[in-house]
Structure 1
């Protein structure tokens, strides 16, 4: 009998939604409000081709605040999948935290372990999808994204030119497209070492 060789855990790129994958909107609540950032299809396809799982990690406190319901959230995420699919990109999973300690919807009004900067959504995705966090990236436009990645043990990338320095990401860029391309180059250079 041939012994079973354990499979190596997959790498992932965890992506914040609002302001990273999609253009920034204040509490979007309708699918039409989600508009992809420019030029992200090609670098996302390249990362997927390199074997990265693509996973959305998003705080959605609009649920806790009563601004929209889970039906609207699912509709927005279906649109996000369709928009990316039209560019040849397939999301492996979407994780959304509905909680906020100051929310008006009682079932979502508490301090949780999933709301970024807590690493709960990344850790759950790693368990669910057998991901290697040490070989993965968290990409976002806010300090909470970078902190969540650091706490989960990923490398981190920050979108935007106004960086406050806390915490410091591994990679920065003015646009999501630029950041994704830099991650691709970092990954290539890691293989060449």
Structure 2
């Protein structure tokens, strides 16, 4: 078995540590404003600021996930840079190159990463909307599979306000970040 040169667990740990630092700062501000709200001392501007902070947490989760995935994709690219890489848009384009380098990709570990890539594609290409994701049905099935595998709601489907019934957007929960980290770590460790 080969060991990765570029795909390192520590890089993903740094991503999660950065997330935790920023989240902590935002939550401190939310707690301060929630306390004022409970005491009915919140100004109109502070009410807007509170909503902004709550929205910021959702954005932080999504952007951290996209950063983790980008780190994965870039590391795979560097691992395979001396090999012929297919033109596919997903990380599946690295399969032949990874096989040629002696890595195991016909495993549950690799399949988990492929499922994670579907969520990335929905976020990046459809802004998280399942109706505008050309693979919407497959993405919904992937969400169910991921949630089932984790035995918790990693990803939720929420109706979009002011849209017709059945227009959904995905909402990543914080547990999804940790799930992705574990799946990437399992894939890396399976190659040792």
TM-score w.r.t. length of structure 1: 0.26
TM-score w.r.t. length of structure 2: 0.26
